[in-house]
Amino acid sequence: MNLSYWETKTWFSYIDFCIVGSGITGLSCALSLKQRFPKSNILVLERGILPNGASTKNAGFACFGSVSEILDDLNSHTEEEVLKLIQKRLKGLQLLRENLGDQNLGYKEYGGYELFTKEDQPLFESCKAHMPELNKMLKPILGIEAFSIQKDIFGFKNIQKKLIFNQFEGQLNTGRMMEALLYKVQKAGVKILNNITVESITDRQDAVEIKTDKLEFSSSKLLIATNGFASQLGITEVKPARAQVLITKPIKNLDIKGTFHLDKGYYYFRNIDDRILFGGGRHLDFKTEETTEIAKTEIIQQKLEELLKTTILPDSSFKVDQYWSGIMGVGSQKNPIVKQFSENVYCGVRLGGMGVAIGSIIGKELSELIS
Ligand SMILES: Cc1cc2nc3c(=O)[nH]c(=O)nc-3n(C[C@H](O)[C@H](O)[C@H](O)COP(=O)(O)OP(=O)(O)OC[C@H]3O[C@@H](n4cnc5c(N)ncnc54)[C@H](O)[C@@H]3O)c2cc1C
C-alpha cells in the first residue's frame, strides 16, 4: 500500500491499543478501553466488510442455560464453575442492555422453553427430577424460581407433551444489536478499519508489530478478539465450530413466541418478524463443522427443514427464505479464555454459543487486563 503522510499519521501511528476482530467482544473491549483511557488512540481491525464471525450471524438468544444444558455442564465442571458461568451470562446480558438499551436491541423477554423429543423420555424425566435442585441453586441469584413445567400450547409434534419454561429468557435482534454497538464505539472515538486481515503479530517488548494483508505497522498493546479464528494467531486452545441456521419467509398467523431449545440444545429456534429462525445440527457432522469456512451443508440443512416440517410447524405451510452460517470458538472447557498472552498481547476468546450473553463482559474483562 502506498500510504500518504496523512494516512500514515492519522491511522497508523501512535496507536495505544489495536484490537483484532470487531465482533461483540472486540467492540465491547474498545468501548471499555475508551471509557477507562479517554485520550487513548484505539484502532479495531476487521477482516470482513461487516463483522464476519458469529456476532452478526447468531440466533439472538439472551439466555443463561436450559435445564439439560446446566445438568450436562455439571458433569464436566464443578458446581462452583457452573454457577460462576451462569452469573457471568446474567451479568453480561445486564451490561449489554445497559450499554445499548432494550429498544435498540429489540429486546423481548418472552421466556424460553426446552423441548424434549419423543425418544427423550428418560432425559425429560431426569430434567424434571433435577429441576427443584437447580431452582434452589439459582434462587439466590435470580430471586425467584426460574424453571417450571408447562403444557405445549404451540402445537409442536413428536415431542413430549410437557415443556420446561424459563421465564428469564429473552431474545434480541442481532442486526440491531451490532449496528448500535458499532455506532456507539465509533461515536466514542474508536477507529474501525474493515477488509483488513491480521496475518501475524510479533511482540517486540516495547511495541507489537502487526503484519496484515495490506500493510505493516505497530501498536503499544494488541488485544485479540477473534474467537473461532484465534488459533490462526497462535491461541491453540480454541477450535472453530461452525453453526448453520435458516429463516422462513413470513408465516401467516404465527403464534410461536419465545426462544426454544430442542434435543439437548442441539437445535434452537425462535420467532422474529413473523418468521421462524431455526439452527443447530452440528452434532450430525461434528468433524466437518470444525471449520472456519462460512458455508452450509446438505446434511444439516435437510435435517433442519425436515424438523421444521415434522416437529415445529407441522400444521403451517412455510417456505425457507435464507440460509447462513457463522463460526464460534469452542474448546475442552466451556469457560472463555481472558488472559495476557505475552508482554503486550492479550486475548478474550472461546465464547462458545454464549457470546450474546457474555460478549460484553468478556470484552470488558479483556480491557481490564491492561492496568
Ligand atoms: C449461528 C449462531 C448462533 C448463535 N446463537 C447464539 C445465541 O442465540 N446466543 C448466544 O449467546 N450466542 C450465540 N452464538 C454465539 C455468539 O454469536 C458468539 O459467541 C459471539 O458472537 C462471539 O463474539 P466474538 O466477538 O467473540 O467473536 P466474533 O463475532 O466471531 O468476532 C470475531 C471477529 O474477528 C474477525 N477476525 C477473525 N480473524 C481475523 C484476523 N486475522 N484479522 C482481522 N479480523 C479477524 C472476524 O471476521 C470476526 O468479525 C451463536 C453463534 C452462531 C454462529
- Residue 62 CA to ligand 1 center (angstroms) comes to 15
CB neighbours of residue 332 within 10 Å: 8
Question: How is residue 28 written as a grid cell?
Answer: 465491547
The domains found in the chain, sorted by start residue, are: 5-56+175-237+333-367 (3.50.50.60), 70-77+102-167+239-330 (3.30.9.10)
Pairing between β-strand 112-115 and β-strand 147-151 as defined by DSSP bridges? unpaired
CB of 26 closer than 6 angstroms to any ligand 1 atom: yes
CA distance 349 to 224: 8
CB of 363 closer than 6 angstroms to any ligand 1 atom: no
pLDDT string in tens for the chain (371-residue length): 889 999 999 999 999 999 999 999 999 999 999 999 999 999 999 999 999 999 999 999 999 999 999 999 999 899 999 999 999 999 999 999 999 999 999 999 999 999 999 999 999 999 999 999 999 999 999 999 999 999 999 999 999 999 999 999 999 999 999 999 999 999 999 999 999 999 999 999 899 999 999 999 999 999 999 999 999 999 999 999 999 999 999 999 999 999 999 998 999 999 999 999 999 999 999 999 999 999 999 999 999 999 999 999 999 999 999 999 999 999 988 999 999 999 999 999 999 999 999 999 999 999 999 98
Q: Residue whose CA is closest, atom 32 of ligand 1?
A: 226
Are the beta carbons of 128 and 275 closer than 8 angstroms? no
- Residue 181 CA to ligand 1 center (angstroms) comes to 14
Question: How is residue 130 written as a grid cell?
Answer: 433435577
Model-level pTM? 0.96
Are the beta carbons of 338 and 347 closer than 8 angstroms? yes
CB of 282 closer than 6 angstroms to any ligand 1 atom: no
- Residue 131 CA to ligand 1 center (angstroms) comes to 31
